[in-house]
């Protein structure tokens, strides 16, 4: 039997690959996955060149028109949310981060379209975990909106990542934009 020499490069690759294969992967929460993707997308190799020839493209918005349009889309979605939740107590939507940190904005938005799903007026802003669980569970059950955010992650943070909240709110918008 012939073994490769320790300084042989192919031997090092085999050991490295074996270490990768034998290392069990821990499940990753949706929020942690968003953060991981955000870190990967924060430093593209070149301003507008795809990272790879596959499906994952990274673009940096260098054109002011595109940047302004992105900001406009964000503001329009926030305005849509404000319009749908304006009558709800304890909901003031100023941004896609801290305005959503107690779960009531998600509940109010869902309740606007599915008022029979739960009693909004029984909710309390201090019961953050309950609010997030209710919002994400009911959105999935009554509207088919996948729970892209993790309750634990949302409860831990006082200032949620706006991109994660924005992404989830977009899915709510896509589901209900033609209603009401």
Q: Is 168 among the domain residues?
A: yes
* For the ranges 5-19, 58-72, 97-111, the one whose mean pLDDT is highest: 97-111
The pLDDT of residue 61 is 47
> How far is C-alpha 138 from the geometric centre of its chain's CA atoms?
17
Q: Is 86 among the domain residues?
A: yes
Does the predicted model carry a pTM greater than 0.95? Answer: no
Q: Report the distance separating Cα 42 and Cα 17, nearest Å.
A: 28
Q: Is 37 among the domain residues?
A: no
Q: Is 106 among the domain residues?
A: yes
Q: Is 39 among the domain residues?
A: no
Domain count, the chain: 1
The pLDDT of residue 10 is 46
CATH number of the domain residue 165 falls in: 1.10.418.10
Q: For residue 106, with 0-12 CB atoms within 10 Å meaning exposed, 13-18 middle and 19 or more buried, which class applies?
A: buried
pLDDT at residue 149 is higher than 80: yes
Which three-class secondary structure string do you get for 36-49?
HHHHHHCCCCCCCC
146: tokens are 């996948």
Q: Is 165 among the domain residues?
A: yes
First to last CA, the chain: 75
Print the domain residue range for 119. Answer: 64-176
Q: Report the distance separating Cα 139 and Cα 107, nearest Å.
A: 9
Confidence band (pLDDT; 50, 70, 90) for 69?
confident
Helix, strand, coil content of the chain in percent (nearest 5) = 55, 0, 45
């Amino acid at each position: 039997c012939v073994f490769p020499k320790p300084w042989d490069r192919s031997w090092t690759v085999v050991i490295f690959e074996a270490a990768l294969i034998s290392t069990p992967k821990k499940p990753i929460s949706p929020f942690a996955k968003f953060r991981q993707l955000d870190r990967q997308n924060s430093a593209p190799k070149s301003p507008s060149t795809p990272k790879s020839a596959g499906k994952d493209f990274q673009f940096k918005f260098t054109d002011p028109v595109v940047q302004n349009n992105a900001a406009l889309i964000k503001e329009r979605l926030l305005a849509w949310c404000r319009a749908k939740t304006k009558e709800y107590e304890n909901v003031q939507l100023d941004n896609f981060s801290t305005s959503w940190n107690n779960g009531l904005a998600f509940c109010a938005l869902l309740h606007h379209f599915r008022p029979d799903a739960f009693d909004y007026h029984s909710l309390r802003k201090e019961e953050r975990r309950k609010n997030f669980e209710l919002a994400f569970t009911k959105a999935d059950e009554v509207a088919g909106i996948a729970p892209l955010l993790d309750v634990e992650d949302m409860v831990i943070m006082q200032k949620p990542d706006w991109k994660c909240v924005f992404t989830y709110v977009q899915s709510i918008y896509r589901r209900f934009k033609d209603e009401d």
